[in-house]
Amino acid sequence: MDFALTEEQQLIQDAAREFAQNEIVPIAAEFDASGEFPVETIRQAGELGFMGIEVPEEYGGSGLDSISYVLVMEEISAADAAHGTIVSVNNSLFGVPLLEFGTEEQKQEFLRPVASGEVNAAYALTEPQSGSDAATMRTRAERSADGSTYTLNGKKAWITSGPVAKYMIVFTQTLDSGGESVGISAFVIDTDKPGFRVGKTEPKLGIRASATCEIEFEDYVCPVENRIGDEGKGFKIALTVLDAGRVGVAAQAIGIAQAAYAAAVEYSRERKAFGAAIGSFQAIQEKIADMKMRIDASQLLVLRAAWSKQHAKKTGARNTLNSSIAKLYASETAMFVTHQALQIHGGMGYSKELPLERYFRDAKITEIYEGTSEIQRMVIGRAETGLR
């Protein structure tokens, strides 16, 4: 088994690291404090090809593989997890459903400008009363009598990049022209059209620069050409997208953990207590060892998930188990490592003068979005036992 990166993968990793350290790190604390969307650095990320890493070049993307995607996510998230979240949404949550289920016209009209970084995108599945239990969503799309349009009504919550998105993939309960439910369907909508409204912006604990909000639809008319896939088959699309998205979140978690770990190791060498560097104390060395071990294990799980995601594209198979394992372990590793790193820093770790407290706040969301840790354990348990 060869764990070496290809030359192309190494180049994209180096480019992502250079961009993240030179452009994102200097502004991360400022944008975390203000909660403002980082327009300029996200524009630069688009110019570098980071907004459509796995999207073929004919649709405005970079045409790279899944390993390249997780490498970019790790590097950007190590600089700032909020930037990593924005990159993840464009690549996974918006790009995957259009690539896998979209028509040629949809890819050209909607995917191309997002993958090339011209505009931002979002993904709307969650509702105020509906998170992991997506089947209970209340947002409705009713088909017109002539079948040419759908009228959307309802509210979505926790929409990352919602305030700045030009295009958005939305999942709704679907009604035929007679008002009968035909299941969940997926649509790509233009947020500049009448009937769409941005609601309250969420005052989040972490990833504060990623701009998360509620959205509302009031008699929003969507042409049938903007439906993704078959009517009533949106739940399958949502699950496929989450399989892909969880690999990106796992990579984000590793990036956060790596940044916290590097800071902890450096501090343990510099900080003196009782006449010696605290890194020479057995208690600190045990923390460092545990952190390193979990990060390395997480990286292997994420690389396996990315590799299997790449091969699943060729066979049409699902990548559910590997993506859930990677997401669960890496996200809990991010929380563990940031907690230990903060403890090593003591009072300084609790201060906003250092980025440790931001890493700690940012890490928590990786255990929640795109499927909580509890959901991941349920997915893994069902896969292993065959029982529901």
pLDDT tens per residue, range 224-280? 999 999 999 999 999 999 999 999 999 999 999 999 999 999 999 999 999 999 999
Q: Give the per-residue pLDDT at 316.
A: 75
SS3 of 272, please? Answer: strand
Please report, rounded to a whole number, the percentage of residues in the chain having pLDDT higher than 90.
Answer: 94
Cα–Cα distance, 330 to 319 (Å, whole number): 17
Residue 95 tokens read as 């790009």
What residue segments make up the domains of the chain, in order of their start?
Answer: 7-120, 123-232, 235-385
Q: How confident is the model at residue 317 (pLDDT cuts 50, 70, 90)?
A: confident
Cα–Cα distance, 278 to 269 (Å, whole number): 7
Residues 6+ apart with CB under 8 A from 232: 174, 182, 183, 184, 185
Q: Which of 33, 51, 30, 54 has its CA nearest to residue 42? A: 51
Cα–Cα distance, 159 to 149 (Å, whole number): 24
Q: Which of 44, 36, 28, 15 has its CA nearest to residue 117? A: 44
Cα–Cα distance, 160 to 131 (Å, whole number): 14
Long-range contacts from 177-182, C-beta under 8 angstroms, 24+ separation: 177/142, 177/143, 177/144, 177/145, 177/147, 179/142, 182/231, 182/232
Confirm if 98 and 228 have CB atoms less than 8 A apart. yes
Report DSSP letters for 241-262, one per residue.
Answer: HHHHHHHHHHHHHHHHHHHHHH
Q: How confident is the model at residue 288 (pLDDT cuts 50, 70, 90)?
A: very high
Cα–Cα distance, 333 to 336 (Å, whole number): 5
Fold of 123-232: Butyryl-CoA Dehydrogenase, subunit A; domain 2 (2.40.110)
Name the CATH code of domain 235-385 (choices 1.20.140.10, 1.10.150.390, 3.40.50.150, 3.30.70.20).
Answer: 1.20.140.10
Question: pLDDT tens digit string along 33-44?
Answer: 999 999 999 999
pLDDT above 90: residue 360 = yes
Strand partners, 181: 175
Question: pLDDT tens digit string along 154-176?
Answer: 999 999 999 999 999 999 999 99
Q: Give the per-residue pLDDT at 76.
A: 98
Strands, E assignment, 87-211:
120-124, 140-143, 149-160, 165-175, 181-190, 196-201
Cα–Cα distance, 21 to 17 (Å, whole number): 6
Dihedral, CA of residue 326, residue 237, residue 366 and residue 293, to nearest 10: 10
Confirm if 94 and 38 have CB atoms less than 8 A apart. no
What are the Cα distances from residue 278, in Å, to 271, 336, 360? 6, 20, 21
Find the angle CA(66)-CA(70)-CA(75) to the nearest 5 degrees: 145
**Which overall architecture, per CATH, does domain 7-120 show?**
Orthogonal Bundle (1.10)
123-232 and 235-385 share one fold = no
Whether this model's pTM surpasses 0.85: yes
SS3 of 350, please? Answer: helix
Mean pLDDT of all residues in 282-311:
97
Q: Exactly one of 30, 370, 374, 384 is catalytic; which is it?
A: 370
| 370 is known as an active-site residue | yes
